[in-house]
Chain A
Amino acid sequence: MIELLAPAGDFERLKIAFRYGADAVYIGGKNFSLRANAKNFSLDEIKEACEYAHNLGKKIYVTVNIVFHDEDFKGLEDYLSSLDNYGVDAIIVSDISVMNLWKKLGLKMELHVSTQASTLNKESALFYKELGAKRVVLAREASEEDIKEIKAYTNLDIEAFIHGAMCTSISGRCIMSNYATNRDANRGGCAQICRWCFKYYDENGNELDDNFQMSPKDLNMVEYIGDMINAGVNSFKVEGRMRSIYYIATVLLSYRHIIDKYLDGTITENDTNYYLKVLNRCANRESTSHFFKGLPTINEQYYTNDGVEVSNQDFLGIVLDNKDGIITLEQRNYFKVGDKVQFISPNFETIEYTINNIYDENMIKIDTANHAQMIVKIKENLPLCKDDIMRIKVFDKQA
C-alpha cells in the first residue's frame, strides 16, 4: 500500500487535498491536537469529514498528539469513542496514556505513533508495535538505512514526511517556545522560536554576531520518492495543516504525479526537474532532502539576511464554476488582461492560457482583477471544473 497523506486545517483544505490526489488526510480536532491555533475540526465536522472521505474511498486520520498535562485528559475518553464511532480510520498519538486508553477502550480505529515520539530506531518502533500501533510516523531524522531496517525489523506501516517545514529540533524535544513565549510547544502552542534571529555570544559573553539563525530549509523529497518506496515507506506525508489551499493543491498534485509515474514506470528526469521547479516556486523557503541520504550539512540550513521569508503571488484564482463558455473565478491575487497563466487540475497536466477578457460579476468588462476574493468571469471554452486553480505561468509546461 502506497499512500499520499495530506494535511487539512479545515474542510475547504480537506476537499482540496482529496481533489488534488491525497489518499488520506490528517486533521486535528478542537482539542488534544498540536497546531492548536489552526481552525481545526469540531466533532460534527470530523464526522462529516469521515463520510466525505469514505464516499471517495479515502481515509481520515485525527491527530491526538499533544503531550497531556493531567488537566488535559478531561473529555478524552468520550472524544476517542466519538472518533471511533464516526469512522475515523486512525488516531495519531504521541503520549503513551492515549495509546493505553485506545487499547483499554478496544477502539476499531488504528493507532499511529506521531513523529513527536521521535521514533528513530527499530527497538523503539517495536515497543510501539507491542503496544498495538499499526504505524509509526518516523522522526524526520530517519535516514534511508534507518527506514529499511525499521521496516524489516517490525513490519510496521511506515509513514515518513516528504514535504514541508522541518523542526530544527528532533520533534517533541523542544520547549523553546515555552521559555520564550509561555506557549507550550508540545500542547500545540509552538511559536517557532527556532526561526527567530538571536544575538550570539561566546560562553564568556562576548558578542559574536547579532543575527544567529538555526532553522533548516524545508523538506522536499521529489528526487527520492522511488528510493523511499523501495526502503519500505507506506505513507508519504506532507506537512502543513495551516498552509494555503494553493500550496496544498500544488504540492499534492506534484507528488501524486511523481508517485503514480514511479509506480507505473514512466517517471523521467524531466518530470523530476519540472516538479522540483514547481514546488520550489510554491514554497516560501528553499528546500532539500535533509537526513534521508545522510546527515545534513551547512547546505541544509536556511540562512537569511534578516529572517524575512519571501512569499509569491502566483495563486491568481480558483474556479467556482464553468458553464456555457463562462468561467467563474474567485480572485486570490492581482491579474489582468494579457497575463499568461496556467490552470492546474487533477484532470489534466496543465493548461496554458493568455487572459484576453475579464468580466465582473455583472458581466461588465474590466481590465484587472484587483480586489481580494472578487468574483470575476472569463469567456473561454476550457475544460475546467470547480476547484481547478489558476496560477501565473512561471515555467513552460512539462515536455
Chain B
Amino acid sequence: MKNNKILVRINNLEEIEEYKKLGISNFLFPLKDFSIGYNTFEIEELNSLQENVYVLVNRVLDNEGIDNFKNIAHKLSFAKGIIFEDIGIYQVLKDTNIPLIWNQNHFAVNSESINIWLDKVDSAVVSNELEKSELIYVLNNVNKKVILPVLGLNMSMYSRRYLLSFYNKYKGLNDIRRAIIKTNNGKEFIAVENEYGTVLFYKNYFNLINEISAFNDDKILFYYIDPNMLSVKEIENILNGGNISYLNPFYENKTVYRIGDLND
C-alpha cells in the first residue's frame, strides 16, 4: 500500500504535518454541526489549508439540519470531496462541482447498489462489514474507484438520543460523554455523545492492512484509516508492520440472519 493512497481522518490539525512526513497527503475532516462521533472542524479552519481536504458529513439530518447545510454548501468548494451519509446531502450538492462520495453507513455492502451510486457520484466508501470473499467480489465489480476502510473503529450504532446523559442522570452518575459498555458475552463498545445524539464504536480495531494484497488495487481510490485514539506514531508503526491488537470478525466469518444458521 502506497502511503499516497491513504486517506486518514484527522483528530487535530497538528497531525497533518506529521502525516505528511509519512507521505500521507489526503485528509478527512468531520464537519462541525454535520458530523457525529469525532472531533469536528469549522469550515474556516479547513478552507485555508493547502492540503487535499475531504469533508465528512455523517449526520442523519432532519429538515433543520438539511436547511443549515444548504446555507453553508457554497462554502465547501475548496473540498476535494464530500463524504456523505444522508441522501439529502447528495440531493443538495448533485448539481455543483463538488466531488461527492457516498458513505451510507452499513448500506455499501453489495456491488449493485454501489454501482448505482457510482453512476451518480464520484466514489463510494465500501463497508468493511463484509467477509473476505464478499469484499473481494465487491471490489472486483465496482465501476469506479472506491474507498476501502482498512484500519480503525467501526461505527456500530447511531442514535438520536442522549444515551449517556440520560443514563447518568437516571443513576446520579457523573455527566460523562464518552464511555465504554460491555455485554455479558464480552463485546465492548465505545459510546460517544454530542448534541446530535450518541454513536457506538466497536471497541476492537479492525485491521485489513495485511490483507491489502488480496484486493484489486486498481479499484481503490483510497485506503481509509480512522485512527480514532491512535497517535500518528502508532499509525506509522502499524504501517511499518508493527502489531496492533485487532479483530476482523466480519472479514473472517460471514454474518448470518436466521437463528438456525448459527448452528451451521
Contact = CB atoms under 8 A, between A and B. Distances in A.
Interface in B66-101: 66, 86-92
Interface string A172-214: 1111101111111011110001101111111101001100111
Interface residues of B, number: 68
Contacts of A172: 106-107
Given A127-B88, A201-B181, A170 B60 contact: yes
Most buried by A among B86, B92, B109, B161: B161
A212 B181 contact: yes
A100 B120 CA distance: 13
B161 A168 contact: yes
B226 interface: no
A308 to B, nearest CB: 14
Contacts of A120: 60-63, 86
B250 to A, nearest CB: 7
A63 to B, nearest CB: 14
Given A121-B65, A141-B62, A97 B91 contact: no
A368 to B, nearest CB: 36
- In the A-B complex, the 3 residue pairs with the smallest Cβ-Cβ separation, listed nearest first, are A189-B257, A123-B88, A184-B255
B173 A208 contact: yes
A72 B90 CA distance: 27
Interface in A30-88: 36-37, 66-73
25 contacts: A70-B137, A70-B141, A73-B110, A96-B107, A100-B112, A120-B62, A120-B63, A121-B61, A122-B88, A127-B87, A139-B60, A142-B62, A168-B163, A170-B60, A170-B158, A175-B157, A176-B200, A178-B255, A193-B183, A202-B178, A205-B180, A209-B173, A214-B161, A291-B160, A301-B167
A118 interface: yes
Interface in B90-145: 90-92, 105-107, 109-113, 116-117, 129-130, 134, 137-138, 141
Contacts of A196: 183-184
Interface string B141-158: 100000000000010111
Interface string B249-260: 110010111110
A95 interface: yes
Contacts of B137: 70
A349 interface: no
Contact of B158 (A68, A174, A180): A174
Given A141-B160, A214-B167, A179 B258 contact: no
A9 interface: no
A371 B10 CA distance: 65
A367 interface: no
Contacts of B154: 175
A178 B92 CA distance: 33
Contacts of B110: 67-70, 72-73, 95, 97
Contact of A70 (B105, B111, B259): B111
Given A176-B156, A183-B257, A73 B166 contact: no
B171 interface: yes
Contact of B160 (A174, A184, A295): A295
A296 interface: yes
A216 interface: yes
A271 interface: no
Contacts of A143: 62
Interface in B159-189: 159-161, 163, 165-167, 169-171, 173-174, 176, 178-185, 187, 189
Contacts of A127: 87-88, 90-91
Contacts of A399: none
A168 to B, nearest CB: 5
A30 B12 CA distance: 49
B167 A179 contact: no
B160 A170 contact: yes
B27 interface: no
Nearest to B108: A67
Contacts of A298: 165-166, 169-170
Nearest to A116: B107
A228 interface: no
Interface in B200-252: 200, 202, 249-250
